[in-house]
C-alpha cells in the first residue's frame, strides 16, 4: 500500500475530518433511514391503502374509475390499473368488469356485529375466475345496482360466491343473523339446495328477495323484469315502422318469461287490423360456443335457415323477434341464405342489449333494428329497496312482486 508523506492539502484535511466525525463511536448503533420506494406505482398504492384504512369508501361502495383516479393523483392510467390489480390480489377490492370496482367486504370471519348489520348477496358472478360472456355481463350491472343501493342505505354487502355453496355454508349464514338476503340469479344453484336454505331463512324471520319469476319462489319477495312490457314495446315499434308480419323465433319455450313475451306480443296487436303470427319454436340448435368458432356459427346459421325458409319465402315475414341478441347474427346469415337482405328486406329485433359485444359480429356484421334493454342496474337497486321496505315493515305480510319495465334501444 502506498504511504502518503508530506503535508496534506487543507481541502483533503477537511474531508478527512468530516469522515471521522460522521463515523459512529464504538458501542453505539447508527441510525439508518429506511429506504422508501417513491415510484408512481408505490406512491399510488400507499395512497389507496391509506384511503381504505381511513374508510374513504364503505364496504361495497364503488371506487373511482381508472381515469378519475389517474387525474386525482396526476398519474398514468396504466399505473392506476396496476394499483387496482394489486388491491384485487390483496382482497381489498373486487372488480366487476364494466360495472366498475368496489371495496370488498371482509372475506373471512367478519364479526357478528358486522354480519348482523349486513345484507347477504349470493351470486356466481363475484369470482375473478368466472369468465363472463356478453349475455352474462348484465349481472355485473345488477350487482353494481345492489351495491350502490345498499351503500346509500347505510348497509354493507356481505358477498357470498354461489360457486361451491353447500347446505352447511347456508346454515352458517343463517346463524350470522344477516339483515336480509338477496339472490338475483337463483338458477345458478341447485334448486333443492337453495329452496331448503331459503325456507330456513323465512322461518327465522330473515327477509329474502329473489330475482327469478319461477313459481317455486312465490313465497318470497321478488323483483322481476317485465318481459310482457318489453315485448309489447318492441312489437309496437316494429308496427310503427310499417311491419305487419312479425314472427317470434324462440329457442327457449315452456318458461314463465317466454309466456310473458307471448302475452306482450298479443297485447301489441290488440286494437290493430294486423293479425299476429304463431310463434316459431326452434329446438335443439347446435350449441353456441363461448369463443369464436366459425364452423359452429355456420352450422347454426344453416339450421336457422332450415326452420325459417318456409316463412321467409314470398314475403310471408317482414320482421323477426328473436330470443336474445346473440341470435341476431346466425339469423341474419340465415336470411341471406334465403335471399333476403337483413335491415332492408327484413328487420331483426333482439333482446338484452348486448349485440355489440358478441363475437359473431366479426362473421356477420349486421346491426339490429332494435333491442330490449332490461334496465339491469335499476333491477339491482329495486331488490335492495324492496328489502329495505320489508325491514321497515312498510309492506303487507304476503310476498311482494315489483316489476322493472325494459326500454327499447334503436341500434
What's the pLDDT tens digit per position in 75-107? 999 999 999 988 887 778 877 766 688 887 544
Confidence band, pLDDT 50/70/90 cuts, at residue 20: very low
Q: Which residues pair with 348 in a beta bridge?
A: 320
How many Å apart are CA 353 and CA 31, to the nearest integer? Answer: 63
Contact 119, 387 (CB under 8 A): yes
Cross-sheet strand order for the sheet of 370-373: 280-281, 246-250, 319-322, 347-349, 370-373, 407-410
- Phi and psi (nearest 5°) for 219? -85, 0
Average of per-residue pLDDT values in the chain:
84
Higher pLDDT, residue 129 or 163: 163
pLDDT number for residue 95: 77
Within 13 Å of residue 42, how many CA atoms lie on the same side as its CB? 5
Looking up cell 358478441, which residue turns up? 358
pLDDT number for residue 131: 54
Percent of the chain topping pLDDT 70 = 84
Residue 82's CB: how many other CB atoms inside 10 A? 15
Mean pLDDT score, 291-297:
94
pLDDT number for residue 262: 97
Mean pLDDT score, 217-242:
97
Question: Which residues make Cβ contacts (< 8 Å) with residue 385, sequence separation at least 6?
Answer: 149
Record the pTM.
0.75
Within 13 Å of residue 280, how many CA atoms lie on the same side as its CB? 22
Amino acid at each position: 500500500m502506498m504511504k502518503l508523506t508530506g503535508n496534506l492539502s487543507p481541502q483533503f484535511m477537511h474531508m478527512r475530518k468530516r469522515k471521522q466525525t460522521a463515523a459512529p463511536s464504538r458501542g453505539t448503533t447508527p441510525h439508518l433511514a429506511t429506504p422508501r420506494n417513491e415510484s408512481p406505482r408505490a406512491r399510488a398504492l400507499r395512497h389507496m391503502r391509506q384511503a381504505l384504512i381511513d374508510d374513504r369508501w364503505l364496504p361495497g361502495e364503488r371506487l373511482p374509475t381508472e381515469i378519475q383516479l389517474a387525474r386525482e393523483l396526476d398519474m398514468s392510467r396504466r399505473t392506476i390499473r396496476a394499483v387496482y390489480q394489486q388491491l384485487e390480489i390483496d382482497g381489498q377490492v373486487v372488480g366487476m368488469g364494466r360495472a366498475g370496482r368496489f371495496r370488498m367486504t371482509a372475506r373471512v370471519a367478519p364479526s357478528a356485529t358486522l354480519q348482523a348489520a349486513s345484507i347477504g348477496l349470493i351470486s356466481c358472478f363475484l369470482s375473478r375466475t368466472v369468465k363472463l360472456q356478453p349475455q352474462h355481463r348484465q349481472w355485473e350491472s345488477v350487482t353494481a345496482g345492489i351495491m350502490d343501493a345498499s351503500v346509500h342505505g347505510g348497509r354493507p354487502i356481505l358477498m357470498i360466491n354461489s360457486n361451491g355453496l353447500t347446505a352447511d355454508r347456508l346454515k352458517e349464514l343463517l346463524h350470522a343473523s344477516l339483515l336480509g338476503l338477496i339472490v338475483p340469479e337463483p338458477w345458478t344453484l341447485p334448486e333443492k339446495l337453495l329452496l331448503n336454505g331459503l325456507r330456513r331463512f323465512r322461518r327465522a324471520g330473515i327477509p329474502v328477495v329473489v330475482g327469478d319469476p319461477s313459481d317455486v319462489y312465490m313465497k318470497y319477495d321478488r323483483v322481476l323484469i317485465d318481459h310482457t312490457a318489453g315485448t309489447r314495446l318492441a312489437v309496437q315499434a316494429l308496427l310503427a315502422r310499417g311491419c305487419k308480419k312479425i314472427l317470434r323465433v324462440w329457442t327457449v319455450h315452456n318458461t314463465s318469461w317466454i309466456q310473458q313475451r307471448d302475452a306482450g306480443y298479443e297485447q301489441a296487436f290488440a286494437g290493430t287490423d294486423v293479425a299476429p303470427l304463431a310463434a316459431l319454436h326452434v329446438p335443439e340448435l347446435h350449441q353456441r360456443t363461448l369463443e369464436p368458432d366459425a364452423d359452429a356459427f355456420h352450422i347454426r346459421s344453416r339450421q336457422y335457415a332450415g326452420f325459417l325458409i318456409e316463412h321467409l319465402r314470398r314475403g310471408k315475414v317482414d320482421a323477426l323477434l328473436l330470443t336474445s341478441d346473440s341470435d341476431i347474427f346466425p339469423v341474419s346469415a340465415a336470411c341471406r341464405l334465403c335471399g333476403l337482405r337483413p335491415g332492408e328486406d327484413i328487420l331483426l329485433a333482439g333482446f338484452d342489449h348486448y349485440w355489440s359485444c358478441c363475437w359473431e359480429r366479426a362473421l356477420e356484421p349486421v346491426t339490429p333494428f332494435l333491442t330490449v334493454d332490461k334496465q339491469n342496474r335499476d333491477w339491482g337497486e329495486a331488490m335492495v329497496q324492496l328489502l329495505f321496505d320489508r325491514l321497515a315493515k312498510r309492506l303487507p305480510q304476503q310476498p311482494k312482486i315489483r316489476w322493472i319495465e325494459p326500454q327499447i334501444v334503436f341500434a
